Structure 1
Amino acid sequence: MADETAFYWLFDRTRPLRKSRLAFWLSRSGDGPYYALFTLLAIIATIEGSWLFLQRALLAFAIEVPLFIWLKNVLKRNRPAVRKQFRPVIKPADKFSFPSGHSTAAFLFAALVVASFPVWSSAVYIWAFGVAISRVALGVHFPSDVLAGAVLGTGIAAAVMAVLA
């Protein structure tokens, strides 16, 4: 119940993000192809640490994608739209909401970027937070969905970095 209350509170206060379409673009920036693009750009630019980053990213996303899909299908938490005939701003890609796949991927990616390219620490975590908030602002996730995604993504990244040190 507290999560639903927090959802409506955040949803009401993020109206400017929706009106400016910033929430939409932040959410879109958390889609899969953009992670591959950033990694490719780092390799092309021959940024030191980019090959290790690539190895970690490949392993981390190979774990993350099936894991969050499995969790969603086991836990089967309905999205906010199912409750009280609420209408989300965008159509989600799947039926269930916990954990947020976008938040999981964004925080996983942020943790990997920070480990390989520390100069980007502030920017990448602000972006990851923006992706997470955008999912609530667009009406497709509860706050606990994005929080769980952030924890899960960070945990997967930490485990992968421990293996591929």
Structure 2
Amino acid sequence: MAAQTVAASVTAKPAPFLLHRLIDLDIAFSLWVHSACLPIPRWLLKALEISGDGRFWFPIPISLFSFSSRSPILLALILGSLLDLLLVGLIKHLVRRPRPVYNKGMNLTFAVDHWSFPSGHSSRVFFISAFLIMCADRFRAALDSHHLVHGYFGGEPTDLFLIFAFVWSAATSVSRVLLGRHFVLDVIAGACLGVFEALLVFHLMKI
């Protein structure tokens, strides 16, 4: 029995080492990416940051919902945004990973914004883009009814719209590392969380 206990403790010890090693690699790689991309105009990265800010996104579906309260997509976007806010805040409070030391000029809205893991911007923008992709059939029917939009770029308007949404979400997430707001793993975790939220809301709302 004692031998089994010793064996279990021996096998359990490498986990913290591997975790710390992964964190060290994440910190080093994130700093390298941040430093290598310093020539990128900061105004562009700030524009992406603002485009994924919750203070910018929350009023949009709420305002549209006041004009079209029967839209299940708008309701799902509102509920998903609230879910994202709660989950990100909870995880940040539990994990409490400090932001990069080279993070400068960031406005903190909530106390949990002091923490880095996961990226709230990444979870938000990937929730939005993933949810829109799941609603592709509805958007295809809506956009195809507008003759000025249909085929304007020589392609399917819905596909172009969804490609733009995905590129925007990816670029916004990458900008978090380039601005020094987050580490790479923060962004990856946020993106995965956003996709999970989109799947959950899409199936619960039965859209």
1:98 corresponds to: 117
Matched, 1:114 2:130: no
| Corresponding residue to 2:103 among 88, 98, 105 | 88
Pairing of 1:7-156 with structure 2 (within 5 A) = 7-17=30-40, 19-36=41-58, 38-39=60-61, 51-81=71-101, 87-93=102-108, 94-116=113-135, 117=139, 119=158, 120-156=161-197
The 2-side partners of 1:39 and 1:14 are apart by: 34
Contact 2:58–2:78 (Cα < 8 Å) also in 1: no
Cα RMSD, aligned residues only: 2.2
Which structure 1 residue ranges, 5 or more long, are not aligned?
82-86
What is the deviation of 1:72? Answer: 0.3
2:152 corresponds to: none
Q: Structure 2 counterpart of 1:151, which letter?
A: C
Which structure 2 residue ranges, 5 or more long, are not aligned?
1-23, 141-157
Structure showing greater radius of gyration is 2
The 1-side partners of 2:104 and 2:173 are apart by: 15
TM-score (norm 1): 0.84
TM-score (norm 2): 0.68
Contact 1:92–1:140 (Cα < 8 Å) also in 2: no
Q: Which of the pair has the greater relative contact order for Cα pairs under 8 Å at 6+ separation? A: 1
Matched, 1:162 2:203: yes
Contact 2:64–2:74 (Cα < 8 Å) also in 1: no
Could you list the per-position Cα deviations for residues 41-69 of structure 1 after superposition, in whole angstroms to 9, with x for gaps in the alignment? 876998xxx81211111221121101100
- How many residues align structurally? 156
The 1-side partners of 2:107 and 2:29 are apart by: 20
What is the deviation of 1:95? Answer: 1.0
Inter-CA distance 128–142: structure 2 relative to 1 (3 Å threshold) = same
The 1-side partners of 2:176 and 2:105 are apart by: 9
The 1-side partners of 2:100 and 2:105 are apart by: 12
The 2-side partners of 1:20 and 1:60 are apart by: 30
Q: Structure 1 counterpart of 2:106, which letter?
A: K
